[in-house]
């Protein structure tokens, strides 16, 4: 197959895979004892310029269209043998999918140029009608074409193979997540396979690449995940020699990459360091402007039992119908846990928060634990707050008050609590129960400066947390901030001494 293709960079030279790329292709086509492919999905997550597009186009997509990819038994040495599809087989339908036409052309365009180079030599040898918008086999049924999120990939197509290109760009907002689901379903029903190419995704954006990485971490079988990155995350204050070593680790035997030129780009003041980490060092990073690094939050999950009568702080963020309502608890050691969550059920039209349920759950918390301080965000819950204060405060002295309103719309008050919370997360002193819904809310929280003219981060700039542009819910994160603030500022625990009985 590759014998007919020219080099993507110079059509006068042959297309030669590096040793690393060749091993990857061999892994992708591994079969088990029954002759069935080991992997049904693939993810190639590599640095920019490593050669992902030519690899999946020439060595995979083109092979799936015209090459010997059908298992045909074993040879005399026990090695698997492949053959081309024939008219008796399911015709090849190969797609190169992307979220935009420009993006799809990156991979399809690379393949097209290799086919038409040298007076269409590869197309002629492989019996391919090399149309600018799609490819057809001329000696048997078979087709390869690009698809995009805007055009969609029709449900039910008899798909045998697909490339999901640059999936770090595929998000719920641009239709990428929906497109990935459709393509995978179409391939699954035909016993086909899909492979993704991506740079390291920006965590928290819920891209297809980020979700695929999570699938791998959760141990789903049948996924070939290939990435190369430095052992330790590069830092901007490292020497040139140290950064060059990290670039070597990221690019492997991609000999065409000029590391010194890439280093100059990284050192350019106009290059965002987060972008350099993702594209050149292949490091997954948290999204710019996000309150918490999702990796750090995941690392701090340490579920444990909280015994009855534990001394805790409580945090509450309430809504009426649109947002969610959360009640969080937090121990003095910084461990937080979910006590209650109320949200609109899927498909519900007329929904309001069941306030009686909230009252009942809060009463249980005060009865089950020893609550030192309860901070609640009062908008839409002012009257309930007054009821709670009357019910749960121990007296009228300041030290007896356990229920306090904490208006998160008052930025000058909320910002110090957010700073305390984020600092504890960075330092590892704020652990949590690992609740996945809470994790979604924390990942969705973005930063907003209290003073818009303040420096981005000089160590004194104050921030509050707000929703991002995607408008995802952050109520759980707000409640967690309040619970942590309550636990850190509540009075020191002093066991109440039992009253002495007086005998007459």
Mean pLDDT of 421-436: 96
Is the Cβ–Cβ distance between 60 and 25 less than 8 Å? yes
Sign of CA dihedral 474, 475, 480, 486: positive
Residue 494 token pair = 């002093």
Tell me which architecture the domain covering 17-227 has in CATH: 3-Layer(aba) Sandwich (3.40)
- Residue 425, classed as helix, strand or coil, is helix
* pLDDT attached to residue 88: 87
Is the Cβ–Cβ distance between 130 and 120 less than 8 Å? yes
Mean pLDDT of 229-246: 90
* pLDDT attached to residue 401: 92
Q: Where in the chain is the domain with CATH 3.40.50.300?
A: 17-227
Is the Cβ–Cβ distance between 286 and 416 less than 8 Å? no
* pLDDT attached to residue 287: 63
Mean pLDDT of 292-317: 94
- Residue 247, classed as helix, strand or coil, is helix
The closest alpha carbon to 226, from 481, 30, 429, 25, belongs to: 25
**Number of alpha carbons in the 13 Å side-chain half-sphere of residue 153:** 34
Q: What's the rounded Cα separation, in Å, for the pair 159 and 95?
A: 8
Q: What's the rounded Cα separation, in Å, for the pair 8 and 403?
A: 68
Does residue 461 register a pLDDT over 90? no
Is the Cβ–Cβ distance between 180 and 170 less than 8 Å? yes
* pLDDT attached to residue 103: 85
* pLDDT attached to residue 124: 94
CATH topology for the 297-489 domain: Nucleotidyltransferase; domain 5 (3.30.420)
Mean pLDDT of 446-475: 76
Contacts of 319 (CB under 8 A, 6+ apart): 325, 353, 380, 475
Tell the residue number behind the tokens 């995802």, with chain if given. 472
Does residue 322 register a pLDDT over 80? no
Alpha-carbon distances of 320 from 20, 176, 343, 344, 469, rounded to whole Å: 56, 32, 10, 10, 22
Does residue 497 register a pLDDT over 70? no
pLDDT digits (tens, 9 = 90+) for 92-139: 999 999 998 888 887 888 899 999 999 999 999 999 999 888 999 999
Total number of residues shown for the chain:
504
* pLDDT attached to residue 347: 80
Lowest mean per-residue pLDDT among 80-89, 144-153, 267-276, 387-396? 144-153
* pLDDT attached to residue 455: 53
pLDDT digits (tens, 9 = 90+) for 187-223: 999 999 999 999 999 887 889 999 998 889 888 889 9
Q: Where in the chain is the domain with CATH 3.30.420.240?
A: 297-489
Lowest mean per-residue pLDDT among 71-75, 105-109, 133-137, 174-178? 105-109
Q: What's the rounded Cα separation, in Å, for the pair 175 and 100?
A: 10
Does residue 276 register a pLDDT over 80? yes
* pLDDT attached to residue 87: 87
Residue 78 token pair = 């026990």
Q: Residue 113, Cβ neighbours under 10 Å: how many?
A: 14
Sign of CA dihedral 471, 473, 478, 481: negative
* pLDDT attached to residue 151: 60
């Amino acid at each position: 197959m590759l014998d007919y293709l020219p080099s993507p960079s110079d059509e006068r030279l042959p297309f030669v895979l590096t040793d690393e790329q060749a091993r990857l292709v061999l892994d992708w086509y591994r079969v088990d004892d029954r002759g069935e492919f080991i992997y049904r999905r693939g993810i190639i997550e590599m640095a920019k310029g490593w050669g992902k597009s030519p690899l999946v186009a020439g060595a995979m997509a083109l092979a799936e269209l015209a090459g010997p990819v059908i298992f045909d038994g074993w040879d005399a040495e026990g090695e698997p043998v492949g053959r081309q599809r024939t008219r008796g087989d399911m015709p090849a339908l190969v797609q190169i999918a992307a979220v935009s036409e420009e993006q799809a052309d990156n991979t399809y365009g690379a393949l097209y140029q290799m086919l038409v180079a040298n007076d269409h030599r590869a197309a002629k040898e492989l019996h391919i009608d090399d149309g600018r918008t799609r490819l057809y086999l001329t000696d048997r049924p078979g087709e390869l074409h690009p698809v995009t999120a805007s055009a969609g990939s029709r449900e039910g197509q008899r798909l045998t193979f697909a490339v999901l290109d640059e999936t770090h760009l595929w998000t719920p907002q641009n239709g990428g997540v929906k497109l990935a689901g459709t393509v995978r379903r179409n391939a699954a029903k035909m016993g086909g396979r899909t492979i993704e190419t991506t740079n390291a995704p920006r965590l928290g954006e819920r891209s297809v690449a980020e979700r695929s990485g999570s699938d791998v971490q959760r141990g789903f079988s049948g996924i070939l995940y290939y990435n190369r990155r430095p052992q330790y995350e590069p830092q901007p204050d490292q020497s040139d020699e140290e950064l060059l070593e990290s670039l070597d680790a990221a690019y492997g035997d991609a000999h065409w990459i000029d590391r010194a030129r890439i280093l100059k780009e990284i050192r350019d003041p106009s290059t965002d360091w987060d972008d350099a980490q993702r594209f050149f060092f292949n490091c997954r990073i948290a999204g710019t402007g996000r309150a918490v690094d999702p990796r750090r939050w995941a690392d701090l999950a340490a579920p444990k039992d909280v015994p009855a009568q534990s001394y805790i702080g409580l945090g509450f963020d309430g809504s009426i119908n649109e947002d969610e309502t959360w009640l969080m608890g937090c121990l003095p050691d910084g461990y937080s846990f979910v006590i209650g969550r109320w949200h609109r059920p899927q498909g519900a039209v007329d929904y309001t928060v069941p306030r009686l349920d909230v009252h009942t759950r809060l009463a249980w918390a005060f009865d089950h634990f020893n609550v030192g301080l309860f901070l609640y965000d009062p908008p839409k819950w002012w009257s309930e707050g007054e009821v709670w204060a009357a019910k749960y405060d121990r007296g009228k002295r300041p030290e007896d008050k356990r229920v306090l309103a904490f208006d998160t719309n008052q930025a000058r008050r909320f910002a110090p609590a957010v700073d305390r919370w984020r600092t504890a997360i960075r330092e590892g002193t704020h652990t949590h129960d690992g609740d996945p819904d809470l994790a979604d809310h924390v990942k969705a929280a973005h930063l907003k400066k209290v003073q818009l003219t303040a420096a981005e981060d000089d160590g004194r700039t104050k921030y509050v947390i707000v929703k991002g542009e995607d408008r995802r819910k952050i109520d759980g994160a707000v409640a967690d901030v309040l619970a942590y603030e309550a636990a850190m500022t509540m009075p020191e625990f002093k066991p109440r001494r039992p009253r002495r009985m007086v005998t007459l």
